[in-house]
Amino acid sequence: MLSREQVDEFREQGYVVLPSLVGADALASIRAAALAIVDRFDPEAERTVFTTKDRDAGRDDVFFASAEGVRCFLEEGALDPEGRLRCPPRLAINKIGHALHDLVPEFRAFCRQPRFGALLRDLGYAAPVLWQTMFIFKQPRIGGEVRWHQDATYLICEPACVTGLWVALEDAHRDNGCLWVQPGGHRTPLRERYEVDWRTRTGTLRTLDATPWPGPDEAVALEVPAGTVVVFHDHLPHRSSHNHSAASRHAFTMHVAEKGAAWAERNWLQRPRLGDFAL
């Protein structure tokens, strides 16, 4: 599946870009399924906003429950000062997560494509297990910034072995909030860790290391066409900017760990009822 050069690039840079890996029909299938979920969403019953500006202090029971469910989270800019939607739900949702692969047939079929398991095995996995999935909308004009972070902050296992697969469902470019990464940054320390005290059901983002986040001269924009898959290491610093354009930037992400790795009890994401989803 992956060439030796691509495997070497992943190990050296902490990520690899795989253009044209997913066909238009597969992309259209999960986009349609995501919009069907949004059309069933009742914004009067649930108005959880997803933002990274508060150091994750706003995580609540709806967020924690999404580990084994399918929940919609609103863009911060979608609500007016009175808490009413400024726009239709299809233009207000930040993301859907986090068990789409378990509970929605179209997403299950998408994730089961043999190419995903094959490329993970080429990177050294013996038995990759899919832990979470997210459909990210990055809405026109209001698609919020996602600050610099490392996935191992939020997905804690021993040994650290999480890999992210980011699928561009639409063209991603600087104006509509493409990914930015720090090449080679996976060799830098883990800066933060998000841990949940399940007795009080509260999460805390702890600083582990004071290494600065990448500066402008260290960051690379990943401007990629629809169908591209970006595979990245769990220590790779990455971010996305605000969507300033009139075009959305739909993407789908999967996070995988090695079967048998010790999944920390303090992780926010727990799946006691769903079990393993092998790739």
Take residue 170 and report the two structure tokens written for it: 């639409």
Question: What is the structure's pLDDT at 52?
Answer: 57
pLDDT above 70: residue 206: yes
Contact 221, 180 (CB under 8 A): yes
Closest CA to 252 of 160, 179, 199: 179
The model's pLDDT over 74-128, given as tens digits with 9 standing for 90+, comes to: 988 788 877 788 889 899 999 999 999 999 999 999 999 999 999 999 999 999 9
Rg of the chain taking only CA atoms, in angstroms: 18
Q: What residue spans define the domains of the chain?
A: 4-263
pLDDT above 70: residue 53: no
Q: Name the phi and psi angles at 30, rounded to 5.
A: -80, -25
Residues 99 and 101: their CA atoms lie apart, in Å, by 5
Question: What is the structure's pLDDT at 51?
Answer: 60
Take residue 172 and report the two structure tokens written for it: 């991603």
Task: Assign a CATH topology to domain 4-263.
Answer: Jelly Rolls (2.60.120)
Question: What is the structure's pLDDT at 58?
Answer: 59
Whole-number mean pLDDT of the chain? 94
pLDDT above 90: residue 36: yes
Residues 215 and 229: their CA atoms lie apart, in Å, by 25
Residues 210 and 97: their CA atoms lie apart, in Å, by 30
Comparing 44-53, 145-154, 245-254, 264-273, the range with the smallest average pLDDT is 44-53
